[in-house]
Structure 1
Amino acid sequence: MQNLLVRSTFRLFFLLLLGGSAQACAEEVELVGVLGSKAVLVVNGSTPRTLSVGERTRDGVKLLGVSVDAAVIEIDGRSRRVVLGGAPVRLAENESTQAEVSLYADSQGHHLANGTINGASVRFLVDTGASLVSLGAADAKRAGIDYRRGVLSRSQTASGLAEVWRVRLENVRVGDIVVQGVDGLVHENDLPFVLLGMSFLNRMDMRRDGDRLVLRRRY
């Protein structure tokens, strides 16, 4: 009888341990409501949870920002944008540090790419002459960046001196490559593209093959 009790207790402990491990890792997140500055999230099909910005669930999902119809969440140091009424966001278990992407030059020799900043979609132009990832005010606002809290400076442009703010971007994604904590520069005016500068590119191995530019993440 005692041996049976010991075995049953061990089995219960083992099952609880497995259950706790499953809860510690969010695999799917859905935005089901927005209440002012709060977001209502469903994680792994569980009961809806209302979060304030900066709050984290027991599954490890942190709310970074909220807009009228979307939210930006973070898990395991990676950010994702979740759209209200959209399909749940599935979170990959791992993101390879050796991720690679190929970009092909357009008729003018420019390498363009679709990507995201802090989960917001942007259009990149690879610019090795830019020290930082540089974006206009409108793109910064869509990415939830309060750039006026950044470091104010001035930059020489074709139209003369312009105000710019140095900021920290939570993450920058191009294809399967995601880099966390990238230095950025926000211009007071809008830009036609986000300049993919060296604060992102210096973490890549870059290889040219004809009109193809291959980026491979180094770290």
Structure 2
Amino acid sequence: MRRVMMIMAGLWAPLLLAAPQVQVVGLFPGAAVLSVDGQRKLVRVGQTGPGGVQVVSVDSRSAVLRVEGVERSYGLSREYNTEGFAAPQKQTLSIARSNGGHYWAEGAINGRAQQFLVDTGATSIALNESHARRLGIDYRTSGQPIQVSTASGTAKGWRVTLDKVSVGPLQVLGVEAVVLEGASPTEALLGMSFLNRVGWRVENNLLVLQSHL
């Protein structure tokens, strides 16, 4: 009997070790950025993220998560690796001014490639309906209807939150954007909702973007 119990204990050990490693690495109104076994994703309240982890509620300091059927509060954590806490590294991207005097940046929205026109006069990332459909953004269902003032007047739009926006090595989670009705703007605008989350400056006709520590 003792031999059988020892064998069963040996079978259970890997299952216990397989419990997901869960961290909350970002908090936003109605959403949390989860890191589950190294996989990072912004998950809204009521939705399920990597490893089947569900976000139950969120406040300014913590999130209540349901992990393997058990609910408990998780405070905001620092990122770490197997050797302990890792010192954050700044990421820098320099963009040359085009012949037309603009700054163009290659990036991605929610993992899908997108070219941006950098616009420091835009309060947020701005997309037209065609951009949003190609990127798989269900703005009419998940977005908040708003009226937007543009150079041509007032336009109908939807305020949305993008899970992830990347430009070169820079990545920002939970970025506000606006989807405008129709074909304007013709180019996706990289506005201040992204730029304010990273450092930016202009030096010798180069736009320098740098992540915050």
TM-score by length of 2: 0.60
- CA-CA distance at 1:173 after TM superposition: 0.7
Specify whether residues 201 and 58 from structure 1 end up closer, same or farther in structure 2 by C-alpha distance, changes over 3 A only. Answer: closer
Query: Is the Cα contact below 8 Å between 1:172 and 1:180 reproduced in 2?
Result: yes
| Residue matched to 1:136 | 128
| Residue matched to 1:210 | 204
Q: How many residues align?
A: 159
Partner residue of 2:162 out of 169, 185, 196: 169
Query: Is the Cα contact below 8 Å between 2:161 and 2:177 reproduced in 1?
Result: yes
Query: Is the Cα contact below 8 Å between 1:26 and 1:59 reproduced in 2?
Result: no
| Residue matched to 2:106 | 114
Partner SS for 2:173: strand
Query: Is the Cα contact below 8 Å between 2:20 and 2:51 reproduced in 1?
Result: no
Partner residue of 2:92 out of 89, 93, 100: 100
One-letter identity of the residue aligned with 1:213: L
Q: For the residues of structure 1 that align with 2:93 and 2:52, how far apart are their CA atoms? A: 31
Query: Is the Cα contact below 8 Å between 2:155 and 2:181 reproduced in 1?
Result: yes
- CA-CA distance at 1:57 after TM superposition: 5.7
Specify whether residues 165 and 118 from structure 1 end up closer, same or farther in structure 2 by C-alpha distance, changes over 3 A only. Answer: same
One-letter identity of the residue aligned with 1:173: S
Specify whether residues 55 and 151 from structure 1 end up closer, same or farther in structure 2 by C-alpha distance, changes over 3 A only. Answer: closer
Specify whether residues 109 and 163 from structure 1 end up closer, same or farther in structure 2 by C-alpha distance, changes over 3 A only. Answer: same
Specify whether residues 15 and 152 from structure 1 end up closer, same or farther in structure 2 by C-alpha distance, changes over 3 A only. Answer: closer
| Residue matched to 1:25 | 37
Specify whether residues 147 and 57 from structure 1 end up closer, same or farther in structure 2 by C-alpha distance, changes over 3 A only. Answer: closer
- CA-CA distance at 1:21 after TM superposition: 6.2
Does 2:145 align with 1:152? Answer: yes
- CA-CA distance at 1:112 after TM superposition: 0.4
Q: For the residues of structure 1 that align with 2:111 and 2:89, how far apart are their CA atoms? A: 19
- CA-CA distance at 1:194 after TM superposition: 1.1
- CA-CA distance at 1:209 after TM superposition: 2.5
| Residue matched to 2:182 | 189
| Residue matched to 1:89 | none
Q: For the residues of structure 1 that align with 2:90 and 2:110, how far apart are their CA atoms? A: 21
Give deviations 1:157-211, integer Å, cap 9, x for gaps.
Answer: 3443211211111111101111111111111122322111111101111132212
Specify whether residues 97 and 195 from structure 1 end up closer, same or farther in structure 2 by C-alpha distance, changes over 3 A only. Answer: farther
Specify whether residues 97 and 203 from structure 1 end up closer, same or farther in structure 2 by C-alpha distance, changes over 3 A only. Answer: farther
- CA-CA distance at 1:130 after TM superposition: 0.5
Question: What value does the CA root-mean-square deviation take over the aligned residues?
Answer: 3.5
One-letter identity of the residue aligned with 1:170: D
One-letter identity of the residue aligned with 1:135: L
TM-score by length of 1: 0.58
